[in-house]
Amino acid sequence: MVVERDRLAEPMKFYLRSLSTGYGMLVIGAGCSLVSVPLALHYLSAEKFGLWTVVLQIAGYFALIDTGVSSSVGRLLIDHRKVRPSREYGAIFWGGFVVLCAMAVVVAAVGLCLVPFLPDVLRINAAMRPTFAVLACVQIITTALSLPVRAVGQSVLSASRYDLIHLCLSASLLANLAALWVAFLLGAGIYAFVWAGAAGLAISGVLQVLVAVNQRTLPGRGEHCLPTRGGWRPLLGFARDVVFLQIGSTLVFSTQSVIVGSTLGLTAAATWAAGSKLFTLFLQVAGKVSEVAGPQMAEMHVTDDRARLAATLRKILGFTVLTAGAGAILLVAGNSIFVTVWTGGKISWPYAASIFLAVWLVLSATANALTAHSVARKRITRLRYVFLLEGIVGTAVAWWIAPVGGIAGIAAVFACTCLCFSFRATVWHAVRTNALAGAHAA
């Protein structure tokens, strides 16, 4: 009994530490946002701030090419972490690293080639186009440089050390804000965001490498090899499944500024960026529980500990719904007032949009928690297509309805598509596989 208690104590210690540092990182991120948005609006017009939010989302689309590979590396490393030194461990890491380097080249090449055509697609006015081109090029290159570093971070996450990665990212957020402030003071204007992003990336990358070396999560002696011909299949196969999820997720959560900016104008894009901040924060708070539990759930699956896995999922789901519900109440009660006060009266937020965001928050947080369980078990199955379909349908309908429904209409569209697609599919999948009872279907 004592041995069993000791066996469970170490993962629980890391989990609680990861959860606390994760919430600490969210607090730091929220604090940085609370400072950075008024700071930016002090030095920039709402139109220029809206231009930057559009550039950020475009760069985020190019980062999609990575997401499946880095997540696949982290999940597959868990399968071999307990038996190191292992050539399989090294092959997974270096295989993922090589693929991410290749993808970085593709992102930079394709992104830079597309930049001249984007202003027409997004209806950027002529005066803003030179600025847009510079910002987009620099941000795409920054995104490309960040891809290989993610393999290093995933090696740390595979050891259930989310706490250390959270500390690295917290330092990156603070460096980003400090660089932004200094750049504005020095008269960089909208290009202050470029310097801030570069500072954050440099700090995050260096710290993650140092942490990985300290924790010995990088391949060591006897582990330096690439996958065999057959060894690429599980890495890229699982990456394919995850990238479908992430493409759908990005379409769902990261297209609004582009849709608003191209249909309602850049000032409206700035309004969406400010008005959705609390929604994003509450979604992150609700999702952090399942996110940091991912490595532990994966290890339970590897050891076939179904009872603990089901019990863990029940606790995660309960806390997620409770947290998302509390966030939804706060959104309805105070989001409009918060945006007005936060932006010094420069931006107003429609109350109806807050109601739809609240509904979307609860539905999406629940679906994300159930999806994290499926990813830990490497059984995404048809969910990958559901999330992708939700993103495509939601984006298309929102683009069509935006000129009539405005910001509130866009929020309503994504709440409805979440209910019809990801929420319905993940709940059905959990019931079908009896996931909450621990007796998974084959």
Range in 71-80, 212-221, 257-266, 372-381 the model is least confident about:
372-381
Share of the chain above pLDDT 90, in %: 20
Is 134:173 a contact under the CB 8 Å cutoff? no
pLDDT confidence of residue 355: 94
CA–CA gap between residue 84 and residue 101 (Å, rounded): 25
Contacts of 406 (CB under 8 A, 6+ apart): 264, 268, 350
- What are the contacts of 371-375 at 24+ separation with CB within 8 A? 371/245, 371/422, 371/426, 372/287, 372/290, 372/291, 372/293, 372/294, 372/297, 372/316, 373/290, 373/297, 373/309, 373/313, 373/316, 373/430, 373/435, 374/426, 374/429, 375/71, 375/75, 375/242, 375/245, 375/294
Separation of alpha carbons 387 and 367, rounded Å: 10
Q: Whose CA is closest to 411, among 353, 326, 325?
A: 353
**SS3 for 433?**
coil
Q: Between 442 and 213, name the one with better pLDDT.
A: 213
Q: How many residues does the chain have?
A: 442
Going from N- to C-terminal start, the domains of the chain cover 255-442
List Cα–Cα distances, 153 to 133, 150, 355, 374, in angstroms.
31, 5, 37, 22
Query: Rounded mean pLDDT of 70-82?
Result: 76
The counts of H helices and E strands in the chain are 16, 0
Higher pLDDT, 351 or 227: 351
Mean of pLDDT values over 76-83: 76
CA angle, 237 as apex, 289 and 99 as ends, to 5°?
A: 90
Whether the Cβ atoms of residue 252 and residue 390 lie closer than 8 Å to each other = yes
For the cut 70, the answer to whether the pLDDT of residue 304 exceeds it is no
Quick one: residue 189, left, alpha or beta (phi over 0 = left, psi -120 to 50 = alpha)? left
First and final CA of the chain: distance in angstroms? 31
Q: Please, is 216 exposed, middle or buried when counting C-beta atoms within 10 Å of its C-beta (0-12, 13-18, 19+)? A: exposed
Average pLDDT, the chain: 82
Q: Which helix (H) or strand (E) holds 239?
A: helix 232-254
The pLDDT score that the predictor gives to residue 229 is: 67
* Region for 64 from its dihedrals, namely left if φ exceeds 0, alpha if ψ lies in -120 to 50, beta otherwise: alpha
Residue type, 374: S
* pLDDT tens-digit readout, 132-178: 888 888 888 888 888 888 888 888 888 878 889 989 999 999 999 99
**pLDDT reported for residue 1:** 45
Looking at 125-186, list the stretches that DSSP marks H as alpha helix, in order from N- to C-terminal side: 129-157, 162-185
Q: Which pLDDT score is estimated for 238?
A: 67
User: Any residues with CB less than 8 A from the CB of 194 and at least 6 apart, and which?
Assistant: 135, 138, 139, 142, 188
What's the whole-number mean pLDDT along residues 76-105?
82
Over residues 53-73, mean pLDDT: 71
**428 vs 4: CA distance, rounded Å:** 34
For 81-128, where are the alpha helices, taking DSSP H only?
Answer: 87-114, 118-122
Q: What is the pLDDT of residues 349-401, one digit of tens each?
A: 899 999 999 999 999 999 988 887 777 676 776 777 888 888 899 999 999 99
Q: What is the model's pLDDT at position 46?
A: 76
Please name which of 254, 261, 220 lies closest in space to residue 49, comparing C-alpha atoms.
261
**Spatial separation of the C-alpha atoms in residues 385 and 37, rounded to whole Å:** 36
Q: Report whether pLDDT(64) > 70.
A: no
Least confident of 44-58, 127-141, 176-190, 417-431: 44-58
Which residue matches tokens 């990182």?
25
Can you give the pLDDT at residue 418? 92
Mean pLDDT of 392-415: 92
Q: What is the pLDDT of residue 36?
A: 85
Contacts of residue 413, defined as CB under 8 A and 6 or more positions apart, other chains included, come to 394, 397, 398, 401, 405
Confirm whether pTM is higher than 0.85: no
Confidence check: pLDDT of 89 > 70 = yes
Minimum mean pLDDT range among 5-14, 189-198, 397-406: 5-14
Residue type, 78: I
Scan for tokens 């830079």, then name that residue. 112
Rounded-to-integer distance, Cα 333 and Cα 337, Å: 9
E strands of 352-408, at which residues?
none
